[in-house]
Structure 1
Amino acid sequence: MNMPPSKEPYDGYCGTSYAAKMLGISVGTVQGLVEKNDLKAWKTQGGHRRISLQSIQDYQRRHNLAPASMMQGEDRLRVLVVEDDENTRLMLQANFDQWGLPLDAVMYSSAMEALLDMPSLQPQVLLTDLKMPNVDGFEFLKTLSTHNLFSNLAVVVMTGMSPQDVQAKGGLPDGVQMLQKPIDMDWLHGFFDALMSVRQINRRARQVA
């Protein structure tokens, strides 16, 4: 796998989690397609695999695969979840599926991998843990707060830390919601419902204007 041609934009690439979501397959299957050169990919100096979005679209066309719902229109809520605990990720995904809400979630165990994918994914909601290996949630949010995507992003922190411990670590950026673990799924369901209602109101206002 080589470095991308300099003429191609960095956000023309995504990570394996996002590629798996686009193709409707597992991360392991995506890695297999990369090894067989069915998908064009390279690795960053930190070892994170980047996959060409164009090669994913080419693969979809070759195999007559319909684009994933998360790539279609603005009706569905794009949610990015950063959580290093697999059981928590599985629990969240199971609840999202059960709710039947028009949302698409991409799960990440690594804050760095999620940060690299944000220009491609353009999420509207971020759910993130705070205590994670390598880049923790505090560093992640600090870095993200300097990005232009942050201004339109609804952020919920999921943590077992007390409010006092969070403040001792420097606190959270303005506007970030804090949700204590174990996660109150009824609260989270209501949060998504409220976001979707606001989006519908804004969409109607734009249509009338």
Structure 2
Amino acid sequence: MASLSTPACCGTSKAAELLQLSVGTVQSLVDKKILLAWITQGGHRRISLESIQNYQLQQQKLPALERLMSERLKVMVVDDDAVTRHLLQDTCLSAHPHVDCCAMSSAIEALLHLPVFKPHIMLIDLLMPKVDGWELVKRLQQNEDFSKLQIITLSALSLAELKDRGGPPVGSRLIAKPVDLGWLRGYLVGLLAPQAWA
């Protein structure tokens, strides 16, 4: 039986599940002292359930405008073709006032910026030099911090050509190039519904 002096707590993964955030974000909240946490003798991090509940209440009490301003949908475009890259970025930015979009010219550049920008959605060209779209998607799916990331892969290859290369990456949504910009705008606007991408 637990001691009455022991506060109710949970691990980082459970806290992330309760808050609907990534493990990395929860760790950041702990580092900023927003969530109360401590390390057990066994070396495990424990987070106070009371501090989790308090954080949830604070988020619910945010004024509507402040909440909207904090809930921006972040999109990252990764394409080595400059014209396509900028066209997709402009389309994303013009889709809705609460969409942020950055554009990267390579998978390596994208991987370097991911921890800073923290996108909710990535548009990834499959055919890129050095590290291609298949490899980038694989690396993303191996990282728990990006478990909620929505991945859209882009390709001008025919279905037969894609099949020869092993098909589109599992867990991604394949869109043919050139991208239907009207569809992209509608897709982003639809995702701005409350909690759709949190």
Question: TM-score if structure 2 supplies the norm length?
Answer: 0.60
1:110 counterpart residue number: 106
Contact 2:75 2:120 in 1 (8 A): yes
Higher alpha-carbon deviation: 101-110 or 73-82: 73-82
Paired residue type of 1:142: K
Structure 1 residues 28-39: aligned runs within 5 Å: none
Give, as a single letter, the amino acid of the residue that structure 2 aligns with 1:149. D
Identity %: 36
- Could you say which residue in structure 2 is the equivalent of 1:84? 80
3-state secondary structure, aligned to 2:192: helix
Q: Which whole-Å CA distance do the structure 2 matches of 1:103 and 1:182 have between them? A: 21
Note the C-alpha offset of 1:151.
Answer: 1.4
**Quick check: 1:94 aligned with 2:90?**
yes
Partner amino acid, structure 1, of 2:123:
L
Task: State the alpha-carbon separation in 1 of the partners of residues 80 and 187 from structure 2.
Answer: 22
Equivalent pairs, count: 132
- Please state how far the C-alpha of 1:150 moved relative to its aligned partner: 3.0
1:50-107 deviation line (CA, Å, top 9, x unaligned): xxxxxxxxxxxxxxxxxxxxxx964111111101111112212322343334111111
Match of 1:146 in 2: 142
How far apart, in 1, do the equivalents of 2:85 and 2:121 lie? 15
> In structure 2, do the counterparts of structure 1 residues 132 and 73 end up closer, same or farther at CA, with 3 Å as the change threshold?
same
Q: 1:180 aligns with which of 163, 176, 180?
A: 176
Distance 1:197 1:126 in 2: 18
Q: TM-score, normalised by structure 1?
A: 0.57
Q: Could you tell me which of 188, 195, 198 is aligned with 1:199?
A: 195
Supply the distance in 1 between the matched residues of 2:181 and 2:194 (Cα, whole angstroms). Answer: 20
Residue in structure 1 matched with residue 159 of structure 2 by the alignment? 163
* The 10-residue stretch of structure 1 (72-81 or 106-115) with the greater mean CA deviation from structure 2: 72-81
Residue matched to 1:123 = 119
Contact 1:145 / 1:173 at 8 angstroms: preserved in 2? Answer: no
Moved runs in structure 1, 4+ residues, more than 4 A?
none
- Name the CA distance, whole Å, in 2 between partners of 1:96 and 1:87: 14
User: Max radius of gyration: which structure?
Assistant: 2
RMSD over equivalenced CA pairs, Å: 2.3
Unaligned runs of 5+ in 2: 1-23, 25-67
1:179 and 1:197 map into 2 onto residues whose CA distance is 22
Give the secondary structure class of the aligned counterpart of 1:78: strand
